[in-house]
Structure 1
Amino acid sequence: MNLSILYEDNHLLLVEKPVNIPVQADNSGDLDFLTMLKEDIKVRYQKPGNVYLGLVHRLDRPVGGVMVFAKTSKAASRLSDMLRRRVIERNYLAVVHGKIDQKNGQLVHYLFKDKRKNHVYAVSKDHNQAKKAVLEYEVIDSKDNLSLLSVNLITGRPHQIRVQLSTIGHPLYGDQKYGKHLNKVGQQIALWAHSIHFEHPVKKEPLDLYSYPPNKDPWKLWDSILQQKVGTI
């Protein structure tokens, strides 16, 4: 696989995750992204033995886009702390069904993950396993009863964007789990990890990295907008 490396130094590796590849080993037995990256580092730098690469955050298997990995344990520890303090800004692009009346908004839900079913539900905040989930969104444009959104993730819960947008009646295009009543089997989910912004955990320099979805349905409806780098919005 040809890897798209966005940034790399002795401490960090930022790379574009392809769609439909698990981030780490799972029950499917399919080759995972973390293993691919370790093997790539081993080959490129001719490293003997095991390669250290810290998994800092995750993306759902069908989702592509920018991810950050730590090449040292010190960087991994500092990045994990930054995530806890919510000082790493993560922005996503999403295409949802329907037109959202409010151009900008914040969504707050309480989510429960049924680990046995690998399904997340919006529940009452009084639920004994509920975790608060917060995101902010901006409607960039709407066409053909679809809307292109910019989403800032405030908390990082499993399936959060997918569940919250479905809960308000606007499931993601192609989402077979949380929008199967509107989506066709075989459609690719339209959720993309577009950008990540944070201070380098060692060098203390600002890092701003961007990744753009492929020019395929439904993204190509907004090809002209995406070419203008919507991450600057």
Structure 2
Amino acid sequence: MAEKTLSNKNNLIVLYEDNHIIVVNKRAGDIVQGDKTGDQPLSEVVKDYIKEKYNKPGNVYLGVVHRLDRPTTGVVMFSKTSKALPRLNKLFSEKSAKKTYWAIVKNTPQQPQATLVHWLIKNPKNNKSTAYSKEKNQSKKAILHYKLLKQLDNYYLLEIELETGRHHQIRVQLASIGCPIKGDLKYGFDRSNKDASISLHARELRFTHPVSNNEIHVIAPLPDDPIWNACLD
């Protein structure tokens, strides 16, 4: 299992790094790749870290392999070489990389463990997806598996594994069964978290290294928050 290291610059937490790959623990509010806001993306923070650590002249290569929603925390992997990027993209497109998420939700699900199947339609105008129980025109099938890990004082901790990767999939599917994620105003939670995060964390990533073929297992520490801390008690 990979050990974490802390880069003082921008409080970047590096969970795993080698010649081809770097995996970091994304903070709430960070955007993975540049967008219309103009805010500095996490990809640029990682480039700065690599440039400084290895004293690299000129531009630093970094490939974005996958993304997390801005209010979400946890594991994000980047490619440090053009050789590794297409192989990593293939891992994710073929679902060979196994991602596990933790979510703190408002209500207990009817079943402690289940598979959810919905058809999602994304509305780009409000950047929101809607879940339907039956297929509709232009909808995309969404499948996830969840299990209840722990009952907290006022919330419930779920572990989620995705079978598909759709826009806001975990958020909208859990909301559709009456379990909105803590802090997620967009999908039905009644109040925001203080730091504007939602309590959804990309907890683990398991994959076969695209160059060495070693099995890599990365765990992202939880945000430093009393409710998240209670999940480990």
Contact between 1:38 and 1:51, CA under 8 Å: does it hold in 2? yes
Letter matched to residue 4 of structure 1: I
In the alignment, structure 1 residue 107 sits paired with structure 2 residue 81: no
Encode CA deviations 1:39-96: one digit per residue, 9 max, x unaligned: 1111111212211111010000011111111111221101111111111100011000
Cα displacement (A) at 1:150: 0.8
In the alignment, structure 1 residue 164 sits paired with structure 2 residue 173: yes
Output the CA distance in 2 between the equivalents of 1:217 and 1:179: 22
Output the CA distance in 1 between the equivalents of 2:162 and 2:214: 22
1:174-189 equivalences under 5 Å are 174-180=183-189, 182-184=190-192, 186=194, 188-189=197-198
Aligned partner (choices 173, 192, 196) of residue 205 of structure 2: 196
SS of 1:218 mapped into structure 2 = helix
Aligned partner (choices 206, 212, 222) of residue 221 of structure 2: 212
Letter matched to residue 181 of structure 2: L
Encode CA deviations 1:152-193: one digit per residue, 9 max, x unaligned: 11111121100100011110011121124x224645311001
SS of 1:83 mapped into structure 2 = helix
User: 1:76 corresponds to which residue?
Assistant: 85
SS of 1:202 mapped into structure 2 = coil
Output the CA distance in 2 between the equivalents of 1:166 and 1:93: 15
Aligned partner (choices 125, 142, 147) of residue 151 of structure 2: 142
Letter matched to residue 183 of structure 2: G
Aligned partner (choices 126, 132, 137) of residue 128 of structure 1: 137
Aligned partner (choices 85, 88, 93) of residue 97 of structure 2: 88
User: 1:25 corresponds to which residue?
Assistant: 34
Output the CA distance in 1 between the equivalents of 2:172 and 2:207: 26
Output the CA distance in 2 between the equivalents of 1:65 and 1:138: 19
SS of 1:188 mapped into structure 2 = coil
Contact between 2:183 and 2:198, CA under 8 Å: does it hold in 1? yes
Letter matched to residue 214 of structure 2: E
What is the percentage of aligned positions where both structures have the same residue?
43
Contact between 1:92 and 1:152, CA under 8 Å: does it hold in 2? yes
User: 1:63 corresponds to which residue?
Assistant: 72
Letter matched to residue 56 of structure 1: V
The count of aligned residue pairs is: 223
Output the CA distance in 2 between the equivalents of 1:22 and 1:214: 16
Output the CA distance in 1 between the equivalents of 2:162 and 2:124: 22
Contact between 1:176 and 1:185, CA under 8 Å: does it hold in 2? no
Output the CA distance in 2 between the equivalents of 1:221 and 1:185: 16
> Unpaired segments of 5 or more residues in structure 1?
225-233
The normalised TM-score by structure 1 is 0.90
Encode CA deviations 1:90-125: one digit per residue, 9 max, x unaligned: 001100011123111111111111112211111365
Output the CA distance in 1 between the equivalents of 2:132 and 2:59: 43
The normalised TM-score by structure 2 is 0.90
Cα displacement (A) at 1:222: 2.2
Cα displacement (A) at 1:205: 0.5
Output the CA distance in 2 between the equivalents of 1:20 and 1:69: 18
Contact between 2:109 and 2:178, CA under 8 Å: does it hold in 1? no
After superposition, the CA RMSD in angstroms is: 1.5
Letter matched to residue 173 of structure 1: K
User: 1:50 corresponds to which residue?
Assistant: 59
Output the CA distance in 2 between the equivalents of 1:59 and 1:44: 25
Output the CA distance in 2 between the equivalents of 1:196 and 1:167: 26
